[in-house]
Amino acid sequence: MVRQNIILAGFMGTGKSTVGKLVAERLGMHFADTDATIESLDGRSIAVIFAEDGEIAFRRIESTVCLRIVRLPERVIAVGGGALLDKYTRSVLESEGLIICLTADIDEIIERVGDDPSRPLFGDRAAIERLMAERAAHYASLPHHVDTMGHTPEQVAEEIVELWKNNT
């Protein structure tokens, strides 16, 4: 199978966008971020979409954006942490790209994300633990994992480039 894209998935704060840009640079590919694309197409921030229209509406837009971006060739795509929970979106992205899940532990995630108000599902520690537990099986089921703990974004990017070379 010829896969043309790299899809970076994983929980909020695992570094998908930071690392994705570096991977794209190294491979001479384009970088896309589904949250940023949603915001520029919709004209509202993710937080406002959640607040005004709710999560279900956000997921609909997110799925449309994922399916659209993945058709463009040679993209490193950072998808929102919940984007691949939708089975159809996941199956299409899986057939068009190499899905890699970035991981980090909860303390590191809290440290990285802090009080960022742009992430409506990022609550207090108990809420994050709950969401991580709810999604643990989902993330574990993704085909490749790269642990970001104790690694610089450059090191993580290098590992992803190696994975890509070994899987295409």
Residues lying near ligand S3P in the complex (CB under 6 A) are found at 12, 16, 35, 46, 80-82, 119-121
Q: Looking at beta carbons only, is 10 or 29 nearer to ligand S3P?
A: 10
Cα–Cα nearest to 144, from 123, 116, 164, 121: 164
Q: Looking at beta carbons only, is 96 or 119 nearer to ligand S3P?
A: 119
Cβ at position 1, least distance to ligand S3P in Å: 26
Q: Looking at beta carbons only, is 46 or 76 nearer to ligand S3P?
A: 46
Cβ at position 17, least distance to ligand S3P in Å: 6
Cβ at position 165, least distance to ligand S3P in Å: 25
Cβ at position 73, least distance to ligand S3P in Å: 23
Beta bridge partners of 145: 101
Q: Looking at beta carbons only, is 51 or 162 nearer to ligand S3P?
A: 51
Q: How far apart are CA 102 and CA 19, in angstroms?
A: 10
Q: Looking at beta carbons only, is 46 or 157 nearer to ligand S3P?
A: 46
Supply angle C-alpha 136, 155, 32, rounded to 5: 65
Cα–Cα nearest to 117, from 11, 12, 10, 9: 12
Cβ at position 99, least distance to ligand S3P in Å: 14
**Position of minimal CB gap to ligand S3P:** 80
Beta bridge partners of 97: 5
How far, rounded to the nearest angstrom, does the alpha carbon of residue 162 sit from its chain's CA centroid? 19
Q: State residue 145 phi and psi, 5-degree precision.
A: -130, 140
Q: Which residues contact 107 (CB under 8 A, 6 or more apart)?
A: none
